A = this chain, B = another copy of it.
Amino acid sequence: MASLRTLYAADGNPPALKTNMNVDFVINYRIPSDAPAESEAGFTQLIEALTKAGLASEVRRGVDHTSVLVFVKTGSTEFESKPPEKDVDKIFQEEPIVDAERLRLVYLLLTNPKNEGGAGITPKTGQWKYVESIFPLHNHGFNRKWLKQWSSKYVLNEEDVDQIRNQFGEKVAFYFAFLQSYFSFMVFPAAFGFASWLILGQYSWLYALVNSLWSVVFFEYWKKKEEDLAVQWGVRGVSRIQLPRTEFQWDHEAADPVTGEAVKVYSTKKRLQTQLLQVPFALICLLILGALYLFCFSVEIFIGEIYNGPFKSYLTFLPTIMLTGLVPTLSTILGNLAEQLTEAENYETHDAHEAALTQKIFVVNFITSYTPLFLSAFVYMPFGNLLVPYLDVFKVTAEKISSSEKLTTQNFQINPDRLRTQVIYFTVTAQIVNFALEAVVPIVKRKVFKKVKEVQTEFTHKNDKGDVVPADAPEEAAFLARVRNEAELDVYDVATDYREMVVQFGYLSLFSAIWPLAPVSFLVNNWVELRSDAMKIAISSKRPIPWRADSIGPWLNALGFLSWFGSLISSAIVFMFSGDSNGPGGEPSSISAWALLLTVLLSEHLYLAVQFAVRYGLKQMNSPGLHKERAERFQMRKNILAETLDNDVETKPLPDIPTGEKITRAALEEEARQASIRGHGTPEEAFWQRQQGMDETISIGRSLISKMAAANKTAKA
């Protein structure tokens, strides 16, 4: 089996990447070896549901004899004279609809409840528990061109982002637009930071001030840009047209006072009470993670700067090992807790749920990312000398362990470079490590797993492969191999990428005064990040469902918070550490508390005043943009109107499905079909004519399932 990476690496345009056979979506349907009958019945229901929703389907062998792949497209040829499919088809033909929009609508057709005209498929739950995943196929022609273009140009423009939007939908496109804007804006602090590093040195007032003002301007600019993009893409306000959550549990039904429809209601009071649990949740996060960091931090200082006993060179790694082991574990546990909490808050819509979850995840991330630096800046540096005596507890422990032998300890001295070293670690080393984890590891992992699986499969099905499951038709083999490949890829989650950038923005806003080269590092990192994220989507992930969005959502608040918080923290850091002395040197008495507080207070209010002014100024200046927006709003309204028509189509009564007359019809058409496969007809046509009608898809699928189940049983026995 050729992996995507090898296909991409190949010169020319391999046939497997040339066509998607007009497939809109692929459903990966699992065949568990312990319940083949149930799975078969479910499969029948699946194809029926698809057909009822006006979708054409084909079935092929899936991945490793444990699943079948159901290929879905709109506008089935079966009911050409019936109204609904024709309408959908007609709309698709009349309006130049972009790929992403088409796929989104088909996905809604697949997943919307049946009473709204959809097929009602909910992967992995209830009736559809064997539906592993529903995913669109990559357009590899586009992907290849995309990656090639991006790797050979320095600056991306609006067109590049538009292309992403057309392929992967607004939700993904907003991430790239944000990252691109952020990258472009980063040029200024990088240049200024570099100059500061040369001329002003670290802990510079001027750098902190300029950096903070920059963050205000960037934040306000992005808010404006985001709105502009939403208007340009015709999606402004779509976040209000919200996708209902199937998991939502309601108290009672009530009539909507506007439309009179029955609406499911959940008491907001109850939800508010649940939301209050966020406070203890945040405290728990702070307590658990804070305690862990404080402990590791103390151990680190004790071993690094006080301890002088045996195994010192090994013991130095102890805190790092502890952190590397425990922080991800705790983060996962707290992440799960956050998920449960959000679940309990019981939101009506996906957006609200996601926003609430994002908020909690941000709390966890905030603590794990910045606590080490907070401890160094606000505990170690100012209070070090006072706290070090308490570290004797480790000494006693260490002495006990090393059988009561009196330890020699170094004379403790505050390490004034510690903070800078840490910042360099977080802004350079960690970014590189992160890149490696994100881009390289999954590929390696997948390769290894695949090899193992292949060997396994070959071993178990050595003899029966050819006989039991029919081999792929030679003209489809390459295509199917590629699809099986895609079916095994991870789901792309844009939230992970946002999180990474937001955390980075936090380092910049809170701590970059410590080491003004940080933005330079970020500039380089983000250039790579833009391209590696593109590669991640194109090669290492399933094609994402092209959801719409009209902003970067809850991350905007996180950015705003970090920008504001930066005005407090960076001013405090600069106040404490600037000057010749390299900080308070472990003695709190060397800091004038009132002056520190006054600095923070003034800095914050200067920040708020500047924010107010920038916001006002931007609001006034862009009147041409506002005019443009108003003009485009007309267009958007037209789009929405057009879409309403689409929805009407979806809710129309569905046609009856012809089930009888199979034999005569099949017999008649069989010949023509066979002819078209062999002779004329494009491969795409051939692909879709292989199974004629729903019933045939069902029967072939069922035979595939039973054969594969039998094969599995034999293999296991």
| Interfacial residues, chain A to chain B (CB-CB below 8 A) | 256-258, 268-269, 271-272, 592-594, 596-598, 600-601, 617, 620-621, 623-624, 627-628, 630-631, 634
Contact = CB atoms under 8 A, between A and B. Distances in A.
A537 to B, nearest CB: 35
A269 B621 contact: yes
Given A597-B601, A601-B600, A268 B623 contact: yes
Contacts of A256: 627
A401 B11 CA distance: 104
Given A593-B594, A627-B256, A272 B620 contact: yes
Nearest to A634: B258
A592 B594 CA distance: 8
A272 B258 CA distance: 43
Contact of A630 (B258, B269, B271, B631): B258
24 contacts: A257-B624, A257-B627, A257-B628, A257-B630, A257-B631, A258-B627, A258-B630, A258-B631, A258-B634, A268-B621, A268-B623, A269-B621, A272-B620, A592-B594, A593-B593, A593-B594, A593-B598, A594-B594, A594-B596, A594-B597, A597-B597, A597-B598, A597-B601, A601-B601
A617 B272 contact: yes
A263 to B, nearest CB: 9
Contacts of A598: 593, 597
A634 B593 CA distance: 58
A108 B83 CA distance: 54
Contacts of A617: 272
Minimum-distance CB pairs A-B, first 10: A593-B594, A597-B597, A594-B594, A257-B627, A258-B631, A258-B630, A268-B620, A257-B631, A594-B597, A601-B601
Contacts of A268: 620-621, 623
Nearest to A627: B257
Given A268-B620, A593-B593, A593-B598, 16 more contacts: A257-B627, A257-B630, A257-B631, A258-B627, A258-B631, A258-B634, A268-B621, A268-B623, A269-B621, A271-B620, A272-B617, A272-B620, A593-B594, A594-B594, A594-B597, A597-B598
Contacts of A594: 592-594, 596-597
A597 B596 CA distance: 9
A29 to B, nearest CB: 41
A620 B268 CA distance: 7
Contacts of A601: 597, 600-601
Contacts of A630: 257-258
A561 to B, nearest CB: 11
A623 B271 CA distance: 13
Contacts of A258: 627, 630-631, 634
A598 B600 CA distance: 10
Nearest to A617: B272
A579 B266 CA distance: 49
Contacts of A257: 624, 627-628, 630-631
A619 B401 CA distance: 59
Contacts of A627: 256-258
A620 B267 CA distance: 10
A449 to B, nearest CB: 45
Contacts of A620: 268, 271-272
Contacts of A592: 594
Contacts of A593: 593-594, 598
Contacts of A623: 268
A268 B616 CA distance: 12
A243 to B, nearest CB: 19
A592 to B, nearest CB: 8
A601 B594 CA distance: 11
Nearest to A621: B268
Nearest to A271: B620
A206 to B, nearest CB: 22
Nearest to A623: B268
A341 B346 CA distance: 53
A568 to B, nearest CB: 9
Nearest to A257: B627
Nearest to A267: B623
A600 B600 CA distance: 12
Contacts of A271: 620
Contacts of A269: 621
A606 to B, nearest CB: 14
A271 B623 CA distance: 13
Contact of A272 (B272, B596, B621, B628): B621
A86 to B, nearest CB: 35
Contacts of A596: 594
A597 B594 CA distance: 7
Contacts of A631: 257-258
Q: Which of A256, A597, A601, A624 has the most CB of B within 10 A?
A: A597
A694 to B, nearest CB: 43
Nearest to A630: B258
A668 to B, nearest CB: 56
A355 B592 CA distance: 43
A597 to B, nearest CB: 4
